Structure 1
Amino acid sequence: MITENRRDWHPARWLRILLPAVLLIIWLGAASFGGPTFGKLSSVSSNDQAAFLPASAESTEVNTWQQKFTDSQAIPALIVFASDSALSPAQLADLSTLAPKFAAVKGVQIPVSPATSSVTGPIPSKDGKAVQFIVPISDTNDVNTVVSDLRAVAATAASPSLAAYVTGPAGLTADLVNAFGGIDGILLLVAAGAVFLILLLVYRSIVLPFLVLLTSIFALSAAILFVYAFASWGWIKLSGQSQGILSILVIGAATDYSLLLVARFRESLHHVESKWAAINRAWRAAWEPIAASGATVIIALLCLLFSDLNSNKSLGPIAAIGIVFALLSSLTLLPVLLVLFGRAAFWPFRPKVDSLHAQAHSTAAPTVHGLEGITGLWKRVGTLISHRPRATWAIALLVLLACGAGIVQLQANGVPQSEVILTASQAVDGQKVSAQHFPSGSGSPVVVVADQGKAEAVLAAATATQGISSASIYVGNVRPGTDAAPVVREGKVIINAVLSSEPDSQAAEQVVRSLRQDLPAVDQGVLVGGVTAIALDTNTTAQSDLVKIIPIVLLVILLILMLLLRSIVAPVLLVASVVISYVAALGVSAVVFNHVFHFSGADAAVPLFGFVFLVALGVDYNIFLMTRVREESLRIGTRPGILRGLGMTGSVITSAGVVLAATFAALAVIPILFLAQIAFIVAFGVLLDTVIVRSLLVPALSYDIGRAIWWPSKLSHQPLNGEIR
């Protein structure tokens, strides 16, 4: 750690010119290439849920078989026309002319022969008030564009008395893509604006917020350049949600690391005149906690590679790349900007050299040892901890446990696809209308792959299953009047089983479970897939990931903290504190989701993502605090060192926490349920961690334990500067 009697650095003139110039050129180059790439990320991203399942998932195996039957991975669009009264013969005749128009839309699957049609329909409803078409969209085309064209064709037949909807998996996918359209611009603007306002209020400087934001945006530009390249090469799978999380994570983390360096730089400017000496002191003091913090977050994120879900597995390296550049920008670009601006970075409140700064307000009443020079809120907090440490941490712990009690209300079993999009969606509306006139699962049947010789027996068993309204063996899209022989591939046939409930409902998932349990008695090699099965397998895998990854992340963080703090007791305490903070955040979030926002549930991956971000980022503040505490403890003893470490880092940690909470809250501008829930969990959790855990629980409990907090290092049993044991 840095000490004040260390010789200050005064580089040669040529180095003072060359070093900043080289670093600026490197970062300007990264920004110039990475910035324009930002708008291209959507071209290498996918929101197809099936693509993120492991190859071993049963629904993935079914998808593989389906490709053999159709020679493509077509996504079905369900086009529904509905009226309040029975459709007239004239209306039905007009609607029948739409089939070839839908088939002619670019991107719709081409029929395999003249005897077949790619479009099924019009299919009239039993009540005579609606018809529907099933239009397969080729996976090699832009689903969003194709759906838009289909909606344009459907609109030509719509009227005030006849509503038209394009729904089904393709319609929902298109609306999901449109919902993610806010990532490129609005998300970044909201996050950057929030960071700027907070820094402006905290530092009361006009210049500094621009320098910190510039550092964050350059880091994001460089990260995007690498993420785009890796996604283009097929090394990682990029989705809309990971794209949004990357932007927020880089801005938040880079700002956090920057604030720690800024705090040290401002502190050093009160002791030395030279800005070079000040940045040298600041960098030497800050690089270790910043590097340790960044490395911890990177390794914790890479633990997602153990996930069986490709979406989780890909987010790990994507987010880790972001943290790498957040780390590099704060340790290379920001020091250059700070040394170029010097004291002007804090204008209009420029720090002045003041030998009495460390003993500011020395005329005040005598204070607790360790709090000399600490004023305001953090002096009061430190005094409270020194006088009532046990009561302080006990009350803080009780508050956290009370918050965590709500975790029993968390319903992280997945949500219906119709509730994923929080804004108006034609696909969602169409799904509801379709359910009023047709079997709910007609557009997304359960797909059963069975042996040809046992097809009839499997068909009978599937039809007899409760929750299945009808089932049929796949014969291809055959035109009326032609033979309808089953399509056979490698001795297998496909059976489409129509659900009587909506395909994204819990009831539909239960039907899939029943089919998987009962059908093997008829055909041992039977496979059950389809849209509902994909959702079920995704949720099951996500829940399995949670149980597997949490212990790995905790163990990794514990080992890193042990190496950094050279202690066993302190790391165990810190890891326990972030776990309690996570449980408390999840408990409050569950109550808010259920009783304030009235969400029907949460995505199964929400607890895992919330855990990784809260624990990894919460450790940031642990490291910021405890590395300073250890530095001060070496000088003045453990208990005074705890108070001084808290007093010296309290403002910067609080500022960093508020900034990170604000950046994650910006995710809520994207109208996707998953991201809105992650935004609330992480934003609230970071604030909880900053205000209660890092300000009260950890310092008070550490103070109560005393020097034993450093066991088994020498610091745990060596009296320093007369400190009473």
Structure 2
Amino acid sequence: MGQKESMLERYGKAVAGKKTRWVTILVWVALVMVLNLLFPQANSQTVENAPNLGDNRPSVKAEALAKEQFPNESGVPALIVLHREGGMQDQDLVKLGKVTEHFTKNPLPNQTLIPPLHQLPPPALKQQLSEDGSTIVVPVFFEKTATVDELKESIEVFEKKTSEIIGSDVFEASVTSADALSARVTGPVGIQIDATGLFESADVTLLIATVLLVLVLLLLIYRSPILALIPLVGVGFAYGVISPLLGWFGEEGWITFDSQSISIMTVLLFGAGTDYCLFLVARFRQDLKVQENRFMALRHAISGATGAVAMSGFTVVVSLLALLLAEYGSYQRFAIPFSLSIFIMMIASITLVPALLAVFGRASFFPFVPRTPEMQRERARKKGKPEPKPKQENRMGLAIGSLVTKRPWTVTLVTVILLGAMATFATQVKINFDTLSSFPEDIPSREGFTLIGQQFSEGELAPVNVMIDTEGKTVDLKSALAGLDYVSKVGDPAKGATDANIQAYSVEFKMNPYSNEAMDRLPDLRAAVEKTLGDAGIPDAADNVFIGGQTAEQLDTKEATEGDTARIIPVVVVLIALILVAYLRSIVAMLYLMGTVLLSYFSALGIGWIIIHYGMGADFIQGSIPLYVFVFLVALGEDYNIFMISSIWEKRRRMPLLQAIKEGVAQTGGVITSAGLILAGTFAVLASLPIQVLVHFGLITAIGVLLDTFIVRPFLVPALTTLLGRRAFWPGEYKPVKELGKRSF
């Protein structure tokens, strides 16, 4: 151990010595400047529409067949929903005709087609209205190659000119207004624009809110303006390296990421990054109270904290990299940005932050400067004040440490029962894969979709595309499908462009095509199609059926994410277990540390469901949330376990185990509590955003962090360590330190 400490102390001198501190800072400054001059920022390289499903998925195969046999030259539609409560007026239809006439003569950028409604006679135009005459849907088609920014610019031009022609801002008018014509843009283009806009605005909001939150919490916890800024400076430099690196990777096509990845990466960077800084800061503050030379104190702090910080960061990096094993593209796109941000922040925490602390020294903690007892007495003597009495610190931590070592069974049973009871609610969690349902209710694309569902048929927005290979036989599939009780409309068959035996049918469901109910109907629909083909004498009917569309894509998404969850969770558990065994050299400690974090995860999921379902009234959470929360909570939860157990493992070499546990809890209690509050707070910022999937993710993750901070780390883990005694170190070597009159292992 002495050799290891000596090596780490030499490392501390190399990065934060009297001269080397300036070298470290200059290296970071130069690195940030060079990278930002050479490479673009990550935000400029986001790809919002990267495919999430592999070519082997049924919906992807169906989409490929549709492009081959039924090429849609019209492009991607934006559905313009015009609505007037009480019924559309004749003048509304006249103005609508002028709108289509204008954009027929003056197409928008990337526009391929707009129906020439101005050429229809009034009776024919009125037939396009909903049954109550209040609503009409006009598709505007755009090139499939158009980017989101290009589509957004075109729609903005469309909205401005349409409002001029109609004579009022119909896109701002309320859809429930009794005397105003309203318009909303929905469909694939509208949903795509709104989704991108939400995440782009969330990125800026997250960055500002997270910085302010971390700054305020640091000021409240440490009451030092300099110390509050040091972790933020470290995070800022880390971000200055991460962003151009990701921009470079994206520019070269090595990785793909979207704005959602960058948004959550920002939260992770500030939350976890500040935690790593605080682990070192807390150790430095303790050492300044016993070591007069600040450089010696800092080297000792680096020696004591670097191992735990490095192992904690390595645990998170490895866990996040496990997302590369996912089939679902969105999971894969999260892996590199997340793991890279933690890796760079970990390096900054053990290089740049120590150098900054070496520059400011004790002044980092101004006005509450930590001093040795001798320094305090000398300071009092110079001011002519009486000698200060020694203060007992960490009284709360010592009290908790005494409780868990004196009543370990009671603490263990109470915490396990409490967490277990909350975990039972995790079995009630319901998930869905409806992207639109995560949008705010008043966002244009969702309001337009709601109007279509109310006035026409929800299935009209995203019909199921059923294609069959008839092999030259006569198949009356339309009649068979129209007879299904969950189908509202079946279109006439279309023949393939190069193979007349391929037929396609547009099938509209009676329910929301994005719902779980619609997805559950697809196997029945496929079975009905296969039966019809079989009755027509077509062998191997299953190979002749292709089902595409949004509902089919969501079903494949569900199956892919369920497969990813079943594959990645065991991998993460095994990887973290191996890291714990390698670091602690104890299989027993690994088992109960992993067990506590898993219990915390299911408890967080259960409490989150209670709040989301019973408190917020939501019926589902997004299907990706359980896996994301698991990866984050298990990895970040082990961070706190590693930091505290490292303290206990270190102390038990020179004192009885019970005393080591008590003092380990006391020593790490303050910093872990501070770090947990900051990490939970940064994730809770997500709950303030207008995107339901981020609200649910941020809420559940924040709950899990708080459970780890206030229940698992201070109570359950040390209580289990007390109960296991020397067995907690098996098969590692444990040499008990005896102290007269006290229990020892």
Distance 1:489 1:31 in 2: 58
Tell me whether 543-552 or 594-603 shows the greater mean CA deviation.
543-552
The answer to whether residue 437 in structure 2 is matched with residue 427 in structure 1 is no
The answer to whether residue 655 in structure 2 is matched with residue 655 in structure 1 is no
Q: CA deviation at 1:353?
A: 2.5
The answer to whether residue 454 in structure 2 is matched with residue 436 in structure 1 is yes
Show structure 1 runs of 4+ deviating over 6 A: 2-15, 33-39, 360-364
Q: Which residue of 2 aligns with 1:507?
A: 517
Residue 234 of structure 2 is aligned with which of 215, 229, 249? Answer: 215
Q: Which residue of 2 aligns with 1:28?
A: 29
Partner secondary structure for residue 328 of structure 1: helix
Q: CA deviation at 1:101?
A: 4.1
Residue 466 of structure 1 is aligned with which of 444, 462, 485? Answer: 485
Segments of structure 1 that go 5 or more residues without pairing to the other structure are 365-372, 476-484
Q: How does 1:256-655 map to 2 (within 5 A)?
A: 256-354=275-373, 375-414=394-433, 416-422=434-440, 424-451=442-469, 453=472, 457-473=476-492, 487-488=497-498, 492-521=502-531, 522=533, 523=541, 524-655=543-674
Q: Which residue of 2 aligns with 1:106?
A: 108
Q: CA deviation at 1:719?
A: 5.0
Please list the CA deviations of residues 247-299 of structure 1 after superposition, one character each: whole Å capped at 9, or x if unmatched: 01111111111001111111222222222222211111111111111111111
- Residues 1:575 and 1:4: Cα distance change in structure 2 (over 3 Å): closer
- Residues 1:73 and 1:242: Cα distance change in structure 2 (over 3 Å): farther
Residue 150 of structure 1 is aligned with which of 158, 162, 171? Answer: 158
8 Å contact kept, 2:75–2:144:
yes
Q: Which residue of 2 aligns with 1:136?
A: 141
Tell me whether 264-273 or 342-351 shows the greater mean CA deviation.
264-273
- Residues 1:12 and 1:327: Cα distance change in structure 2 (over 3 Å): closer
Q: CA deviation at 1:176?
A: 1.6
Partner secondary structure for residue 636 of structure 1: coil
Please list the CA deviations of residues 363-411 of structure 1 after superposition, one character each: whole Å capped at 9, or x if unmatched: 89xxxxxxxx654211111121222111112111111112212213211
Q: Which residue of 2 aligns with 1:478?
A: none
Partner secondary structure for residue 255 of structure 2: coil
8 Å contact kept, 1:154–1:165:
no
Segments of structure 2 that go 5 or more residues without pairing to the other structure are 171-178, 377-386, 534-540
Q: Which residue of 2 aligns with 1:81?
A: 82
Please list the CA deviations of residues 655-682 of structure 1 after superposition, one character each: whole Å capped at 9, or x if unmatched: 1101100111112233111111111011
Distance 2:280 2:690 in 1: 35
Distance 1:695 1:474 in 2: 67
What do you get for the CA RMSD once the two structures are aligned?
3.3
Q: CA deviation at 1:30?
A: 4.4
Q: Which residue of 1 aligns with 2:383?
A: none
Q: Which residue of 2 aligns with 1:19?
A: 20
Residue 224 of structure 2 is aligned with which of 173, 183, 205? Answer: 205
Partner secondary structure for residue 124 of structure 1: coil
Tell me whether 419-428 or 567-576 shows the greater mean CA deviation.
419-428
Q: CA deviation at 1:135?
A: 2.3
Distance 1:526 1:686 in 2: 47
Q: CA deviation at 1:23?
A: 2.5
Partner secondary structure for residue 459 of structure 2: coil
Q: For 1:626, give the aligned amino acid.
A: I
Q: CA deviation at 1:149?
A: 3.1
Residue 702 of structure 2 is aligned with which of 661, 683, 687? Answer: 683
Please list the CA deviations of residues 642-663 of structure 1 after superposition, one character each: whole Å capped at 9, or x if unmatched: 1111111111111110110011
Distance 2:617 2:639 in 1: 33
Q: Which residue of 2 aligns with 1:367?
A: none
Distance 1:543 1:4 in 2: 44
Distance 2:34 2:64 in 1: 38
Q: CA deviation at 1:147?
A: 3.1
Distance 2:436 2:72 in 1: 29
Q: For 2:744, give the aligned amino acid.
A: I
Q: For 1:440, give the aligned amino acid.
A: E
Distance 2:5 2:414 in 1: 41
- Residues 1:109 and 1:124: Cα distance change in structure 2 (over 3 Å): same
Q: CA deviation at 1:206?
A: 1.1
- Residues 1:289 and 1:493: Cα distance change in structure 2 (over 3 Å): same
- Residues 1:408 and 1:10: Cα distance change in structure 2 (over 3 Å): closer
Q: For 2:654, give the aligned amino acid.
A: R
Q: CA deviation at 1:35?
A: 7.1
Q: Which residue of 2 aligns with 1:480?
A: none
Q: For 1:146, give the aligned amino acid.
A: S
The answer to whether residue 62 in structure 2 is matched with residue 52 in structure 1 is no
Q: Which residue of 2 aligns with 1:481?
A: none
Q: Which residue of 2 aligns with 1:724?
A: 744
Partner secondary structure for residue 212 of structure 1: helix
Partner secondary structure for residue 52 of structure 1: coil
Residue 191 of structure 2 is aligned with which of 172, 186, 191? Answer: 172
- Residues 1:363 and 1:281: Cα distance change in structure 2 (over 3 Å): closer
- Residues 1:575 and 1:153: Cα distance change in structure 2 (over 3 Å): same
Distance 2:351 2:198 in 1: 36
Q: For 1:222, give the aligned amino acid.
A: V
8 Å contact kept, 1:134–1:443:
no
Partner secondary structure for residue 85 of structure 2: coil
Q: CA deviation at 1:107?
A: 4.3
Q: For 1:419, give the aligned amino acid.
A: S
Q: For 2:679, give the aligned amino acid.
A: L
- Residues 1:248 and 1:713: Cα distance change in structure 2 (over 3 Å): same
Q: CA deviation at 1:216?
A: 1.2
Distance 1:391 1:31 in 2: 52
Q: Which residue of 1 aligns with 2:129?
A: 124
Please list the CA deviations of residues 442-499 of structure 1 after superposition, one character each: whole Å capped at 9, or x if unmatched: 1321122332646854444333333222222576xxxxxxxxx764469644332222
